[in-house]
Amino acid sequence: MHTLTLSPPAGSSTSTRIRIGDHAISEIKNITKNDENIVMIFDEGIRSIADDVASKIPNVVQIPVASGDVSKSLSEVDRIVALMLEHGCTRKSLIIAVGGGMLTDLAGFVASIYMRGIPCVLVPTTLLGMVDAAIGGKTAVNAGACKNIIGTITHPTDIFIDTSFLQSLPLPQMQEGLAEMIKIAAITDAPYFEWLQAAIPTFLKRDAKTIDEAVLLAVTAKMKIVEQDERDRDVRLLLNFGHTVGHAVEALSGFKISHGKAVSIGMCAEMNIARCSERKSIEHLLALAGLPLTIPEVMKGHDLWILMQSDKKNQQGEVKIAVPKRLGEGAIETISEKQFASLFA
């Protein structure tokens, strides 16, 4: 097992201890033994994993949450807070969040505001959660049609990344995580990208050693970015590679196209607009992971452009994209509607 420490810039937040490996969850009993009122918020869809985690923590209060983005709301926050009050949770209580990115974003948000903030431990159960959502302190819920529009940057005290959970994760969910792994490698870490080029076939066969290494390298790459720019002002913006077009594709499909697939399509479109020299090798890796590369023909450029302008990371109608100028080296570019429209000519 590997243990890493994510240390955000001095004075801003506390550090996070991240354990990564096969059965890493067995260590959770050591960190919870002195806490009172431990609450485990978990995704109902992974009850057997949640039961296993609960069996390691005496007297844990369990709060199940329905699967799906519909739970990522202020009304769900309200319901969880009411249950925590009913159970007598205080400022000394601890939240353990068990589930994918939706669940860790939601439970992390509750922990960051309950009595002005209580500690939180994350147990991501999906590849996307392990390599992206759980790392870096972002917590969020949706409001109206806006995704992740209410949230905080509050780091968990500990993250347990138990890679044995991935042995039974369905392929489409593995691909969701792979899209983010390829993204971070392509735009911030060329050696990791080259390693992935050789490792993806073995990874998809669920070789445990390859999975451990792939997750460790992805988490390390993301930690480096978060430690330089915790608050999304500088290099962390590079992690939006594929997301400007991707979010628009996801929304225009009525969320029928999953986030990972939309980001893959978004990366290809953004590299095309910016004429990236590494486009072919990045597209090849996405295809190897079984991810889509092109915007569905039914989608109109102007409709996507309107959605891209309203993204929370864009201002005054300007649309920015993050693209790799070279492998592992990204830059932010501002694009015009004319440039975007050229994709559809």
Task: Single out the segment in contact with ligand GLY by CB under 6 A; choices: 131-139, 165-173, 207-215, 333-341.
Answer: 131-139
Residue type, 192: Y
Out of 19, 72, 138, 259, the only residue in the binding site for ligand GLY (CB under 6 A) is: 138
Cross-strand bridge partners of residue 21 = 162
Structure tokens at 124: 């991501």
What's CA 24's distance to the chain center, in Å?
19
Least Å distance, CB 302 to ligand GLY, is 27
Q: Which of residues 284-323 bind ligand GLY (CB under 6 A)?
A: none
Cβ proximity to ligand GLY, 19 vs 138, nearer residue:
138
CB atoms within 10 A of CB 310: 14
Least Å distance, CB 201 to ligand GLY, is 26
Least Å distance, CB 87 to ligand GLY, is 31
Out of 61, 239, 265, 271, the only residue in the binding site for ligand GLY (CB under 6 A) is: 239
Find out whether 38 and 56 touch, Cβ atoms under 8 Å: no
Cβ proximity to ligand GLY, 63 vs 237, nearer residue:
237
Find out whether 60 and 38 touch, Cβ atoms under 8 Å: yes
Structure tokens at 82: 């009411």
Cβ proximity to ligand GLY, 89 vs 249, nearer residue:
249
Q: Does 132 bind ligand GLY (CB under 6 A)?
A: yes
Structure tokens at 76: 């769900």
* Distance set, CA 101 to CA 115, 156, 209 (Å): 23, 14, 24
Q: Does 136 bind ligand GLY (CB under 6 A)?
A: yes
Q: Does 266 bind ligand GLY (CB under 6 A)?
A: no
Number of residues lying near ligand GLY (CB under 6 A) = 5
Task: Single out the segment in contact with ligand GLY by CB under 6 A; choices: 82-90, 132-140, 206-214, 336-344.
Answer: 132-140
DSSP 257-319: S-HHHHHHHHHHHHHHHTT-TTHHHHHHHHHHTT---S--TT--HHHHHHHHHTSTT--TT-E
Cβ proximity to ligand GLY, 136 vs 328, nearer residue:
136
Q: Does 246 bind ligand GLY (CB under 6 A)?
A: no
Spell out, one character per residue from 90 to 129, where the chain touches ligand GLY: x when CB under 6 A holds, - when not.
----------------------------------------
Using DSSP, state whether 5 is helix, strand or coil. strand
Least Å distance, CB 132 to ligand GLY, is 5
Task: Single out the segment in contact with ligand GLY by CB under 6 A; choices: 116-124, 130-138, 170-178, 295-303.
Answer: 130-138
Nearest to 42 by CA among 98, 124, 89, 126: 98
Structure tokens at 103: 């669940």
The alpha carbon dihedral of 122, 126, 131, 136 has a sign of negative
Q: Does 147 bind ligand GLY (CB under 6 A)?
A: no
Least Å distance, CB 138 to ligand GLY, is 5
Q: Does 236 bind ligand GLY (CB under 6 A)?
A: yes
Q: Does 183 bind ligand GLY (CB under 6 A)?
A: no
Find out whether 267 and 239 touch, Cβ atoms under 8 Å: no
Least Å distance, CB 338 to ligand GLY, is 29
Burial category of 144 from C-beta neighbours within 10 Å (exposed 0-12, middle 13-18, buried 19 and up):
exposed
The DSSP output letter for 10 is T
Site for ligand GLY, rule CB under 6 A: 132, 136, 138, 236, 239
